[in-house]
Structure 1
Amino acid sequence: MSKICLLCACLLFLASLSTPASSEVEIGQRSHRYALVIGNSSYRYAPSLPNGVNDANAISRVLQETGFEVTLGLDADASTFRELIGKFRRNLQPGDVSLFYYAGHGLQANGENYLLPVDAALQRPADLALEAERLQDIIAAMTAEENTAIVLLDACRDNPFVKQLSGQGQSRGLVVGKGLGALDAGRGVFIGFATQPGNVALDGAANHSPFADALVKRIKTPS
Structure 2
Amino acid sequence: MDGENYLLPTDIAAPSAGGSAFATSKSIALSDLLDRVRKTGTRSAVVFIDACRNNPFKLVEGRSISTTRGLGRIAAPQGTFVIFSAGAGRLALDRRNEDDTSENSDFTRALLPLQSELGLELRTLAAGLRREVRDLALTVQHIQVSGRLHRPRG
Quick check: TM above 0.5?
yes
Mapping 1:47-196, distance limit 5 Å: 109-121=1-13, 122-123=15-16, 124-147=19-42, 148-163=44-59, 168-169=62-63, 174-196=65-87
**Alpha-carbon deviation of 1:206?**
4.9
Paired with 2:10 and 2:51, the residues of 1 have a C-alpha distance of 13
**Alpha-carbon deviation of 1:203?**
1.3
Check whether the contact 1:110–1:176 (CA below 8 A) recurs between aligned residues. no
Paired with 1:168 and 1:188, the residues of 2 have a C-alpha distance of 42
Tell me the TM-score normalized by structure 2.
0.62
Tell me which protein shows more helix as a share of its residues: 1
3-state secondary structure, aligned to 1:192 = strand
**Alignment length (residue pairs):** 110
The answer to whether structure 1 residue 218 and structure 2 residue 114 are counterparts is yes
Paired with 2:67 and 2:113, the residues of 1 have a C-alpha distance of 34
Tell me which protein shows more strand as a share of its residues: 1
Check whether the contact 2:71–2:88 (CA below 8 A) recurs between aligned residues. yes
CA RMSD of aligned residues (A): 2.3
Quickly say closer, same or farther: Cα 1:125–1:146, change in 2 above 3 A: same
- Cα deviation per residue 1:116-163 (whole Å; 9 max; x = unaligned)? 113422331221221111111111111103212222111112222023
Identity of aligned residues (%): 33
Tell me the TM-score normalized by structure 1.
0.44
